[in-house]
Amino acid sequence: MYPMTRPCSFNHEGNLLYRKTGNEITPLSKGGTVTEGSLILSMPDDWNRGNPRETPGHEHFDEAADLGDSYLHEMRNGKYRCIKAGKTKTGRAGPDRITFLLRKYAARSHLNATLKRACEIQGAVTEKDFANMRRIHRLAREMTAKDLLGQVVPLGAVLDPSITSHRKGPAVFSNGRQAARSENIKDGLNRLSRHLEGAGTPMTKEEALEYYYAFQEIHPLKDGNGRIGMLLYNILRGTMENPEIPEDKPGWN
């Protein structure tokens, strides 16, 4: 972390400034003002190892020049944080490489924010909960919807190691409605899987919600149904790289 005053002037020649909003990147003028949420790609003057023109308070540019790297930073909470280093073969990152780095980071930032919000909605608020959510998202990216339905228990075990089987006993939603009986969970998942055989993807939001609701009605696990159901929804929508949070029915929480 490199402390900086907010807002601060960033006039080092050769640096490109951008603002990130969600996964959208907007170029800012060189020598502009760095404000909260700005992304900075540092491109030191001398790419031939050493002798960069020093800027007071920004001694870390010496490191960047010495390494021959381009560094991507973000202004967060008044501090300047290095978030990506990209070594280039020729020394100077071209426009395509710059755009790639920025969009890749912005997409990852948006993904993490969405997964974290999904955890919070389900009452899973610890850093471990968030880390486990990222783990099952990575696993589910390689799955089809049918694969996921067959891997519900292993995915649930990532979220909660005490999960070793489908739910035992009843599950009641806050509106008083009961989920499927525990002895019918396996059959319910099998029926849902068979129904997917004739379904094409990507689905519309309304189509994917119907499967999400059906999964929640089965409620196969004692915990984690909302988070795993969200993955099912996004697999069907084709939005795993830029996930959406499906809307629950009233009274389900």
CATH assignment, 125-237: 1.10.3290.10
Which amino acid is located at 50 in the chain? Answer: G
Which amino acid is located at 17 in the chain? Answer: L
pLDDT at 53 over 80: no
Mode of pairing for the β-strands spanning 79-87 and 2-3: antiparallel
Mean pLDDT over the full length of the chain: 75
Ranges 24-28, 31-35, 184-188, 191-195: which has the least confidence: 31-35
- CA-to-CA distance for 51 and 62, rounded, in angstroms? 8
| pTM (predicted TM-score) | 0.69
Domain ranges of the chain: 2-111, 125-237
6 within 8 A of 20, measured Cβ to Cβ: no
- Which DSSP helix (H) or strand (E) runs through 214? helix 205-218
| Residue 34 pLDDT level (bands cut at 50, 70, 90) | low
Task: List Cβ neighbours of 197 (8 Å cut-off, separation of 6 or more).
Answer: 146
DSSP string, 155-205: HHHHH-TT--SS--S--B-TTS-B---GGGHHHHHHHHHHHHTT--SSPPH
Task: List Cβ neighbours of 136 (8 Å cut-off, separation of 6 or more).
Answer: 155, 158, 159, 227, 228, 231
Query: For 114-151, how does the pLDDT look when each residue is reduced to its tens digit (9 = 90+)?
Result: 999 999 999 999 999 999 999 999 999 999 999 999 99
74 within 8 A of 101, measured Cβ to Cβ: no
83 within 8 A of 73, measured Cβ to Cβ: yes
Q: What is the DSSP letter of 69?
A: E
Pick from 232, 230, 192: nearest CA to 214:
192
Which amino acid is located at 45 in the chain? Answer: D
Res 82: pLDDT: 62
* pLDDT, greater one: 50 or 212: 212
98 within 8 A of 16, measured Cβ to Cβ: yes
